[in-house]
Structure 1
Amino acid sequence: MNVKKWFGLFFLWGFTVCAQAKPVQVAVAANFSKPMQSLVTEFEKDYNYQIALSFGSSGKFYAQIKQGAPYELFFSADQAKPEVLQLEGLVVAESRFTYAIGRLVLWTVRHDFANKIEMKLKSRAFNKLAIANPKLAPYGAASLQVLNHLRLIDDTQAKWVRGENIAQTYQFVHSGNADLGFVALSQLLGRNNMTEGFYWLVPDNMHLPIKQDVVLLKRAGNSQGAKTFLDFIHTEKAQTIIAQYGYLTPDGGQE
């Protein structure tokens, strides 16, 4: 083999290795952080790709993607933002699907609120109520729907503290800066279903379903890693992990 040909093959091999080694950039709604970390752990055991995760509010990610942020996959906390991105031509055709259906809970770490959470909310017998920003976070929008359903918006609004996303809302309650807070069930449950504090699972009829969609962004191009990870989310293993963290899965199942 002549030197030029050998050098060309070596260069191609090196380029391929570098391309494969580049992590897949994934934007993930804050409520899905725990299950996503578990999903990535299992995925990287079986596949020769690495996943780089960024967590935050779906609204912020939407704005960043519009501005050219280098994400390849976007796991939103709603359906609306992925749908708009698709309409705007920023999504690979037919890549969008619902990966999870969220459950909303009202949470407290106060022991004297145990078994009284719903009553404390309805009687306004609390100091501060934490909710995620409804303009940025779908769980915040669902929280407002619950308060509206219970006719509590006017009577409780002065007590609200707003988090930029559901993770910040969690911190308000965890730190004691709010007596109560609307958070995602997944933030409280791990695979062993143990949780700190106490929660009331909000009935589904009090808010619209929190269907969460994922999309493959066009900037991912032909990223085989991104496509493989998206395929993995459809597997029984991935769906089982998602259900273990308190989500309903698209087929209606839950652990």
Structure 2
Amino acid sequence: MSVNDATRGPRMSLRRAIARVAAVLALVAGPLTVAPAAHAYGPYGPYTCANSLVWREATPGDLVCVTPARRSIIWQENADAWKHVQPGGGPYGPDTCVQGYVWRETRPSDHVCVVPDSRWWASQDNRNAALGYANIAEIPANGTYSGWDGRMWVSGSGFTPNGSIAVYGWATDTRYMIRAGNALTLARSGGYLPTTYFTSSGCSLNYQRTMLVITVDAATGLVRNAGQQYIPCGWA
């Protein structure tokens, strides 16, 4: 018997033992490859856009959903931004636009100079942002709250200081946005939205139907889900 023959048996036994241990570990711990965490989100997280829409990405972190054509325009505006800034600055600082151009303001820090129509479209994109997501129920609360104490209320923090906040109800059975009667409210200077009521004291609830209370920061297009509530009168 050769040395190789003499050691083959112990080696094979050791290999089998290692293989058995690995199999047990695999059953207990699962595959050793890194896999995405299990969740109900879309392929790009809770802010996954609906079919045919893409993130606007006018600035870093801009997750407002728009058409691909609209995003192409935005990106071209970013590339051409230097052409429309007044040399040496002006009354609005170093980002002062040349005559005929204004800041786009997809958010307050967006000082890309564009034609006025483009700024108007940016504001519309922001206000309609809640309609662009694949599953609005996945949108996180991020510091917003809603409730009922005889009237429907909404509160929260982290909004654009002194900015307008739109409040909607998303009816889970009919799948459309219900605009609150008093839909627009104003965040305080610190970005805090105090408890704001959106129904009258004599309002009743429809216990057969529910909705998600959705807030939209008009200055940034940031959408939040303030929780599920029964639909109150005036919102159906």
Higher gyration radius (CA): 2
Scaled to the shorter chain, the TM-score interval is under 0.3
Query: How high is the TM-score relative to the length of structure 2?
Result: 0.24
Question: More helix per residue: 1 or 2?
Answer: 1
**What TM-score results when the alignment is normalised by the length of structure 1?**
0.23
Higher RCO (CA 8 Å, separation ≥ 6 residues): 1
